[in-house]
Amino acid sequence: MGEKNLEIVQDQTATEPNGQISHLALDIGGSLIKSVYFCRSDSSGSGDDQDHECSANGGCAKKRPAIEGSLHFAKLETSKIDQCLETIKSMKLQFNGFVHQNNTIEDNTIKDTSFIKATGGGAHKFADLFKEKLGITLEKEDEMDCLVAGANFLLKAVRQEAFTYIDGVKEFVQIDHNDLYPYLLVNIGSGVSMIKVDGDGLFERVSGTSIGGGTFWGLGNLLTKCKSFDELLELSHRGNHRVIDMLVGDIYGGMDYSKVGLPSRAIASSFGKAISEDKELDDYKPEDIARSLLRMISNNIGQISYLNALRFGLKRIFFGGFFIRGQSYTMDTISVAVNFWSKGEAKAMFLRHEGFLGAMGAFVSYDKQRLDDLLAKESLQLQVRTSPPVDTDYQSPLNGESIENETINCIIHTA
């Protein structure tokens, strides 16, 4: 009873992983490689004092071996795939956990039959490279499967996973597991996928847009010479989008267009002021450009998300992916867009582990067969009950803090 695969214990500030690393899972996207890996704690071992567990009816059984440790999160640019390979090589991955059926754990280091769970387009694109350079097989998991599995897992296992962000106020939302579905999952990576989720493994990709994180980064790179996504975000904090965007008031001589509910400060045309003949790129401040770009993209994603939520009668929209990064301006823009277009009917929610949904999904797929067994609703609820959600004083990494500095303590049961 209460068969647990991955038991979440608590979050903590990350320390350099000093134990054995195992169960690495990768999500290799167009711009970023995201990874989730399990690191067993030094104290963790199979020598357990109590090697039997007893149920309420008095029956006892031999306890399954447990490894204590923590989940770590890391990312790297996809263009630095060679660095990724080097890092994995140096990790001396030890597969103590869910090993391939044809594999053994006698030799604790990588060998020819080793594999890593991987998702995202890069799991296909770089499969040969991993095999050639590391002798590792990338065991491909479908991208949407992983996004949904990762989101469902985190929403159920981590109490302070989802939060709203309205007018600068962040509020964690307690998810009732019996009332989680359906919801719209919007994953903002290089591009954007919108997925209607009806249950564990039950979903449909209903929409998407090519105007996503890659657009912010790509256009930002061309317009501001910022080389990194984080630098661009940092820049946008100081900007004023009104210098670049054409507002309703700019067209209407400072007035609202009240008949159709457009206030003078609403953006009529993103980058619409930049049509000026007298000005060139260098005449604009990079921070204003970055802010206008961030606003344009966030607002557009919020709007298309809302229209899709409306289409399927979904009241909750969870935004994930590596675009948001806990940025208050981005979240505020998305929240306002969803609230504005839905007239308050739909709610935008953000995920603390936003960027790692796919990688998390690939991670939990290590024990896919067992998870499949748990898909029966009763077992699933049991699983949830026996893995109490984490509840800490954790603060969301707004404006720059990174979830990569946090880990989740957990126990992996190995048999």
Token pair listed for 306: 């809302």
Kindly indicate which of the ranges 15-23, 171-179, 277-285, 393-401 contains the residues binding a second copy, using the contact rule CB under 8 A.
277-285
Is 172 a residue that touches a second copy (CB under 8 A)? no
Is 358 a residue that touches a second copy (CB under 8 A)? no
Question: Of these, 2, 45, 201, 218, which contacts a second copy (CB under 8 A)?
Answer: 218
Residue 8's closest CA among 360, 379, 401, 373?
360
Is 288 a residue that touches a second copy (CB under 8 A)? no
Residue 352's closest CA among 191, 93, 92, 155?
155
Contacts of a second copy in 55-114 (CB under 8 A): 79
Closest CB to a second copy among 144 and 357?
Answer: 144
How many residues contact a second copy, by CB under 8 A? 74
Token pair listed for 202: 């039950």
Kindly indicate which of the ranges 66-74, 137-145, 165-173, 397-405 contains the residues binding a second copy, using the contact rule CB under 8 A.
137-145
Kindly indicate which of the ranges 3-11, 170-178, 261-269, 369-377 contains the residues binding a second copy, using the contact rule CB under 8 A.
261-269
Contacts of a second copy in 290-329 (CB under 8 A): 296, 299-300, 303-304, 307-308, 310-311
Question: Of these, 68, 142, 198, 404, which contacts a second copy (CB under 8 A)?
Answer: 142
- Which residue type occupies 252? Y
How many CA within 13 A on the CB side of residue 226?
21
Closest CB to a second copy among 157 and 309?
Answer: 309
Helix axes 286-311, 328-341, angle to 10 degrees: 40
Residue 168's closest CA among 329, 353, 12?
329
Question: Of these, 85, 134, 173, 251, which contacts a second copy (CB under 8 A)?
Answer: 251
Is 330 a residue that touches a second copy (CB under 8 A)? no
Kindly indicate which of the ranges 86-94, 161-169, 249-257, 404-412 contains the residues binding a second copy, using the contact rule CB under 8 A.
249-257
Closest CB to a second copy among 153 and 284?
Answer: 284
The size of the chain, in residues, is 415
Instruction: Provide the pairing of β-strand 202-209 with 192-199.
Output: antiparallel
- Residue ranges with strand state E in 225-324: 246-247, 267-269, 316-320
- Residue ranges with strand state E in 86-151: 115-119, 137-140
